[in-house]
A and B are shown apart, each in its own frame.
Chain A
Amino acid sequence: MNAAPLLCIQNLDVAIAGTRVLKSLTLDVAPGEILALVGESGSGKSMTARAILGLLPPDGQATGSITLSGRELLGLDDGALGQVRGRQIGLVSQEPMTALNPVLTIGDQVAECFRLHQGVSQAEALRLAQETLERVELPAARFPLSRYPHELSGGQRQRVAIAIAIALKPRLLIADEPTTALDVTTQAQIMALLRGLVRDSGIGIVLITHDLGVVAEAADRVAVMHQGAIVEAADTLTLFGQMRHPYTRALLAAATYVPPTRPVPVPRPGEPPVLSVQDVVREYAGPRRGLFTRPPRFRAVDSVGFSIAPGESLGLVGESGCGKSTLLRAILALDRHQGGEVLVAGEDFGPDHPAALRRLRARIQVVFQDPFGSFNPRWTVERLVAENFHLLDQPPPRAEQRRRVQELLERMGLQAGDADRYPHEFSGGQRQRIAIARALITQPRLIALDEAVSALDVTVRRQILDLLADLSRQQGLSYLFVTHDLSVVRAITDKVAVMQGGRIVEIGDTDQVFANPQHPYTRSLLAATPDIDRALAARRAASGLVHPA
């Protein structure tokens, strides 16, 4: 780096209540540079950001040095830090839903920075707010200052959050997983916006992320964190080209992991599909307009149909709001659908056939996204996993139930003794194993996975994908993957259905759809999904390097 570093961290040690969480951290960021900080949860990425902002927890102790343009930040009192935070360092956090105050207009929220830090009049502050919102591509014509956060989409809210962060033209922006909660097409726009800011105003960005695809596309330099220390740091092309540290290699291998392929299932003649969805319609009543008028209907799922053969896996992909979760709830008979039918193993599956419903529920089970919210915190693992025995007409006796739960836990890579523990004692990956055990206890033919690996770290995700592939191979289990993550779908499904606006716009063999997408929406989804190889190739081309492939 030629330029003097903007942010310079040297030998930073942070201990929280006596436990070292950051170990001799040394890194710097130049003006106009995007430094990506990557690593798995608990690696210390966010703690680094908090240390820079002087926002460590009360029992946190930092030693070493953090300088911003030569000024030491460690040891500043709260008042001085408050000045640095708004004016010189901006923060963009992960959750665009909660980062904004819902009862203030976006104009007021951006203008507040100017009034607080520059003491300008309200009119002047609003004028400056308008300018700032234009910089994040929220033009006044379509997004007047009087808008409230709930009137904006997730991506637009994240733009407002960025506007607040850059309002006072800070020299450094810390972006903590800024696009993790967003859809891929929105993510691509926000990343383009951040890169534009760097280009135009020479701001330096610390980009904290777990997504190596985003890193390959956006970052100038990458620092890989593992257990509170930086294990490898280099400019992006060098890092991906060399991968000196084994942890970096493991991280990339896990991120691009594809479980070993299995034989494509051959349906036995005469066997009905495990799940058949025919012209399913799901409508909601919208808000009532008048006292005596019928409320308008909103059609969230519109004549959707597909089927899954025994042993086959289907990916249902689409962005938030496309109706995929609503469809899943209708398929699982958790909500009543308004048209069409759902057949499980050839039989009607719906609230109108309670006896069949209960019997068939044992055949189709589900694993949810959130490994923290999907267990009753007051139940032991044994009771949680055994809950589905309720579906059997003659549940086995308690001792037998316990034996089966323990056996299943062992098959999931857990221990028999874990049956007596509580969910909070397990990590996210272990909890997803417990959730899969719960789904498997009645020996279903199909498991629906609702974003079941999205919240997991890449190395944990790899283990769970392996486990699922094994189960499918051994038992001919079918899967319905409902997800926004195209890389998972590509890795593990046989067929893929792309949903947009409540309809399936494209359905076909996964390989074919990815290789040769027919529908424009599928093409835009694929183009927006960060792809490490594609991004690196583009970088090489741009830098004029000729690399043998």
Chain B
Amino acid sequence: MSRHRIMSSGLVTGLALTLAALLLAGLSFAWTPYDPIGMDVAMRLNPPSLQHLLGTDAYGRDVLSMIMAGARNSLFVALIAVGLGLAAGVPLGLLAAARGGGVDEMVMRGNDLIFAFPSLLLAVMITAILGPGAVNAMVAIGIFNIPIFARVARGAALSIWTRDYILAARTAGKGLFRISLEHVLPNLASVLVVQATIQFALAIVAEAGLSYVGLGVQPPAPSWGRMLSEAQTLIGQAPWLALFPGLAIVLTVLGLSLIGDGMRDLLDPRLRKGKP
């Protein structure tokens, strides 16, 4: 084999897409083509043109500027929500798989309790208690992610616990904690990465739902989700209002899942090619 490729084309594409989203978000702090919250009623519902590349909305706001500024809120909310789910859910799942018995029952029944509430209703409840706002939206969406990650981690971990290399680690005198950390967690990383990209997409949409009922990012600050929900009633008149924020979400999620797949392959020695 000549030069082995360290990164697959998928991973490169994913990095490019995600970087572009992050750049747009970063750039929006310093510069946007127009003021993302500045209304111009004379320019309302203009289709994409050279002046307004992605058109304008019902209040004459520039869609491109709103998408750039919205990226900040949407990405931030989704990243934190998924991070919260991972940080709390995975250890719970690992613990349930490692200890089994009563601990497992408690963790999983606790999960069922959260699952029993419809997710959006739960988020509405939490934001209603904590008050509306981006931070509380993250917490609300993140809490609902915890049982999802706990369940996925537990299921994958249970199958890993039956492997012979776990027995070998136990005959090496290692305890449940070290085995979970050294043997179980690295081998379920691929499952978690895939689940995380799914949850990330769902979190963007969930934030949209919360914003729609006025509990997420507060107007006039834009978010991709709220742009989508505001576009609903105008979809026949001004399809670009739904199209561009939708595309932004799709491309970002695509980028993240390509990164996820690429990282999974990169971290798996079995798939690493041409190692000398």
Taking the closest CB of chain A, its distance from the CB of B267, in whole angstroms, is 8
Residue in contact with B170 in the complex, picked from A334, A370, A373, A425, CB distance below 8 Å: A334
Residue in B167, B169, B174, B270 whose CB lies within 8 Å of A424 = B270
Q: Which of A86-94, A114-122, A375-383 has 4 or more CB atoms under 8 Å from chain B?
A: A375-383
Q: List the A side residues contacting B163 at CB < 8 Å.
A: 373-374
List A contacts of B187 (CB < 8 A).
376-378
| Chain A, 365-397, CB within 8 A of any chain B CB | 365-366, 368-370, 373-378, 380, 387-388, 390-391
* C-alpha spacing A369/B164, complex, angstroms: 9
Which of B165, B171, B267 makes the CB contact (< 8 A) with A376?
B165
**Chain A 445-463: CB-based contact to B (< 8 A → 1; otherwise 0):** 0000000000000000000
Q: Is the CB of B171 within 8 A of A373?
A: no
Whether a CB of chain A sits under 8 angstroms from the CB of B168 is: yes
In Å, the complex CA distance between A380 and B269 comes to 9
The CA of A374 and the CA of B268, in the complex, are separated in Å by: 17
Tell yes or no: B38 within 8 A of A by CB: no
- Contact yes or no, B173 A374, CB < 8 A: no
**B186 interface residue, CB < 8 Å from A?**
yes
With A387-B168, A391-B172 already in contact, the answer to whether A376 and B183 are too (CB < 8 A) is yes
Count of B interface residues, CB-CB < 8 Å: 20
Q: Residues of A contacting B269 with CB < 8 Å?
A: 377-378, 380, 422, 424
Chain B 146-164 per-residue mask, 1 if CB under 8 angstroms from chain A, else 0: 0000000000000000011
Report Cα–Cα, A469/B173, bound state, in Å. 27
Is A374 touching B164 in the complex (CB atoms < 8 A)?
yes
**A111 close to B (CB within 8 Å):** no
CA distance A425 to B274 in the complex (A): 11
> How long is the Cα–Cα vector from A422 to B273 in the complex, in angstroms?
12
Asked, given contacts A422-B269, A424-B270, whether A387 binds B167 with beta carbons under 8 Å apart, the answer is no
A376-B183, A376-B187, A424-B270 as given contacts; A332 in contact with B164, CB under 8 Å: no
- Distance (whole angstroms) from the CB of B80 to the closest CB of chain A: 29
Which of chain B's residues have a CB closer than 8 A to the CB of A365?
Answer: 171
In this assembly, does A357 line the interface, its C-beta being within 8 Å of a C-beta of chain B? yes
User: Is the beta-carbon distance between B186 and A378 smaller than 8 angstroms?
Assistant: yes
Which B residues touch A332, using CB under 8 A?
A: 171
A390 touches B172 (CB 8 A): yes
B173 interface neighbour in A357, A366, A377, A380, Cβ under 8 Å: A357
Residue of B nearest to A357 (CB): B173
In the complex, A366 Cα to B171 Cα: how many Å? 8
Q: A378-B186, A424-B269 are in contact. Are A370 and B164 (CB under 8 A)?
A: yes
Choice from A361, A373, A425 contacting B165 with Cβ under 8 Å = A373
Cβ–Cβ < 8 Å partners of B275 in chain A: 421-422, 425
Give the nearest-CB partner of A367 in chain B: B168
B170 partner residues in chain A, CB cutoff 8 A: 334
Residues of chain A within 8 A (CB-CB) of B182 are 376
Say how far B271's CB is from chain A's closest CB, in angstroms.
9
Residues of B near A433 (CB, < 8 A) are none
Residue of B nearest to A442 (CB): B172
Assembled-state Cα–Cα distance A509/B43 (Å): 99
Smallest CB-CB A-B distances: 5 pairs: A374-B164, A422-B269, A368-B164, A358-B173, A388-B172
Q: Could you list which residues of chain B lie within 8 angstroms of chain A, going by C-beta atoms?
A: 163-165, 167-174, 182-183, 186-187, 267-270, 275
| A interface with B by C-beta (< 8 Å) | 332, 334, 357-358, 361, 365-366, 368-370, 373-378, 380, 387-388, 390-391, 421-422, 424-425, 438
The 6 sampled A-B contact pairs (Cβ below 8 Å) are A334-B170, A361-B173, A373-B164, A376-B187, A378-B267, A387-B172
